[in-house]
Chain A
Amino acid sequence: MKFQKERNNKSNIEEGIVKKVLFVMALTAITSLGLIAFFIFNEGMPFMIDYGIADFIFGTEWDPSNQVYGIFPMIVGSVIATLLAILIGAPIGIAVAVYLVEIAPPKVARIIRPAITLMEGIPSVIIGLFGMVVMLDVIRRLARGPLSEYLPAGYQTGYSVLAGAIILAIMILPTIISISADSIRAVPNEYKEAALALGSSKWQTIYKVVVPAAKSGVLAAVILGVGRAIGETMAIIMVVGNTVQIPEAGWEGIFAPVRTLTGNIALEMGYAGPEHRQALFATGIILFIFIIIINSITLVLRKKED
């Protein structure tokens, strides 16, 4: 029979092997994810339970040499830096996306688009270094000059949650811009034409029709930005001062040096003893949970949009 399967057919054997090899490769990503979750929880969870989850999360003192591990200041540092970064980055990012898709002349768009791709590729240490040499100087002058009488001495070094937030805002801009732009571009032309035909101005159309229609995508972009910001490490270490403290409530607080969850891990992992290391992995768990929640929200939002 001529259509019958041949046991020793070379190409069929090859096909079978290739399929198995590719299948194993396809499991790498999920296996890695599983291993990452396992090792981080395995290393950090027992410690966290031993130490007391509440004491660990809400403890305000971090003193590894005396076995005191409270990460609340770092949680506060991460959250404030991230919120401030979103406050700065989201409006600008969305504005650039709207400009890029709806207003920019093609010639201008041809400059902006590659610039944003390039910006995404700039290593975080470069942005951090720029922050160290330029931004810290500006903030220091501000803090020691016109604002000096309002700020405590410890808040006048330039190293501050504000510097961190600006750096983070720069780093999340490309993400927010490109994802918002995608969803703005996906708004059907008929919507715009209908609004314009009713006599709306171009801006009214953008403001009342286009942006609301792209809302879930824009929101996803912002939340993804939150994820990036809270997970960012190098650039922020370089400018926030890394002092373990909770900033004063009030506007002065943004000039306070702080430490983030990520910074805590990166700065101390290299020389940590066994228990200290476990405490750092426990810090990683908290970060991991933040990230999982944020990413899940983004994925759900993006599914909705499709």
Chain B
Amino acid sequence: MINQEERNVKIAVEQLDFFYGQTHALNSISLDIKENEVFALIGPSGCGKSTFLRTLNRMNDLIPKTRVKGSVQIGGQDIYDPDVDVVQLRKSIGMVFQKPNPFPISIFDNVSYGPRAHGLKNKKELMGIVEESLRQAALWDEVKDRLNDNAMSLSGGQQQRLCIARVAAIKPEVILMDEPTSALDPGSTTKVEALINELKQNYTVVIVTHNMEQAARISDKTAFFLNGYVVETDETNQLFTNPKEKQTKDYITGKFG
């Protein structure tokens, strides 16, 4: 393992508050997420972990009547600065959703969707990106002969890996994952977890999970969310073996949640 301290901070969140209308969903969240790190967000449902994840690529902008306070810096730039273009931002911050959401078009078109949207037209280059991304998502061997098949014909696990490939194709710096395995069977889950381990070579990964074993297996650092607050952030081993806060301990020992 690389020494944690030597890495640069990729995402710096400071005093972040978030509101859905009158509801105060996130309370002064402060976190540092480092480059090439898998950072897990755990906590009971409704604790704000998914909301927090979606503040990192400003997906919450799509929900009416929401408000953000505080700052989120990615690569040293405040992403809530009025001068920021969310489209540019989201090109650098990929997102994988809870339920696989491939587009009902061919496998090839799914993976090449992002690069095409960003102006790449050359067939050969696109093919190169599609192959590379599908390889990164450990899906290439399964689909290489049927790239023109509709993506909906894939199994759930394959669909989710396709979504990961789709994100890899835009060559982001950060990949956000919102409970990516919650809709998958155990076999597919194992594959996706192995994949996440691979992905951190190239990307910073922030993953929301309600499965604590999963967080323990794949993440370097973990933050425990409760009622819109971050209760504790630590090295994953540390947090699971020796939590500092009583609430964290109660949660990881299954007393609630």
- Shortest beta-carbon distance, A75 to chain B, in Å? 46
- Shortest beta-carbon distance, B87 to chain A, in Å? 7
* Contact digits for B52-85, partner A, Cβ 8 Å, 1 yes 0 no: 0000000000000000000000110101010111
CB-defined contacts of A66 to chain B, threshold 8 Å: none
**Nearest opposing residue in chain A for B93, CB measure:** A3
A246 to B136, CA, bound (A): 84
Please state if B87 and A4 are interface contacts (CB–CB under 8 Å): no
The one of B75, B77, B87 in contact with A11, judged by C-beta atoms closer than 8 angstroms, is B87
**Nearest opposing residue in chain B for A1, CB measure:** B77
Residue A190 interfacial (CB < 8 Å): no
CB-defined contacts of A9 to chain B, threshold 8 Å: 85
CB-defined contacts of B79 to chain A, threshold 8 Å: 3
A3 to B85, CA, bound (A): 6
- Shortest beta-carbon distance, A102 to chain B, in Å? 36
Range, interface on chain B = 10 to 19
Residue A149 interfacial (CB < 8 Å): no
- Shortest beta-carbon distance, A247 to chain B, in Å? 56
Q: Count A interface residues, CB 8 Å.
A: 9
CB-defined contacts of B75 to chain A, threshold 8 Å: 2
* Contact digits for A1-44, partner B, Cβ 8 Å, 1 yes 0 no: 11111100101100000000000000000000000000000000
Q: For chain B residues 84-120, which have a beta carbon within 8 Å of chain A?
A: 84-85, 87-89, 92
Please state if A2 and B77 are interface contacts (CB–CB under 8 Å): yes
The one of A3, A6, A11, A12 in contact with B89, judged by C-beta atoms closer than 8 angstroms, is A3
Please state if A5 and B83 are interface contacts (CB–CB under 8 Å): yes
Please state if A2 and B88 are interface contacts (CB–CB under 8 Å): yes
Which of A1, A2, A3 gathers most chain B CB within 10 Å? A3
- Shortest beta-carbon distance, A147 to chain B, in Å? 65
A55 to B92, CA, bound (A): 74
- Shortest beta-carbon distance, B35 to chain A, in Å? 15
A116 to B87, CA, bound (A): 47
Which of B75, B77, B79, B85 gathers most chain A CB within 10 Å? B85
**Nearest opposing residue in chain A for B86, CB measure:** A3
The one of B77, B84, B85 in contact with A12, judged by C-beta atoms closer than 8 angstroms, is B85
**Nearest opposing residue in chain B for A5, CB measure:** B85
- Shortest beta-carbon distance, A99 to chain B, in Å? 38
- Shortest beta-carbon distance, A16 to chain B, in Å? 12
A4 to B78, CA, bound (A): 10
- Shortest beta-carbon distance, B121 to chain A, in Å? 13
A69 to B241, CA, bound (A): 94
Please state if B87 and A12 are interface contacts (CB–CB under 8 Å): yes
5 contacts between A and B (CB under 8 A): A1-B77, A2-B75, A5-B88, A9-B85, A11-B87
Closest 7 CB pairs of A and B: A5-B85, A3-B84, A3-B89, A3-B88, A4-B83, A1-B77, A3-B77
Besides A2-B75, A3-B92, A12-B85, 16 new A-B residue pairs in contact (Cβ under 8 A), listed by A number: A1-B77, A2-B77, A2-B92, A3-B74, A3-B79, A3-B88, A3-B89, A4-B83, A4-B84, A4-B85, A5-B83, A5-B85, A6-B85, A6-B88, A9-B85, A11-B87
Identify the A interface with B (CB < 8 A). 1-6, 9, 11-12
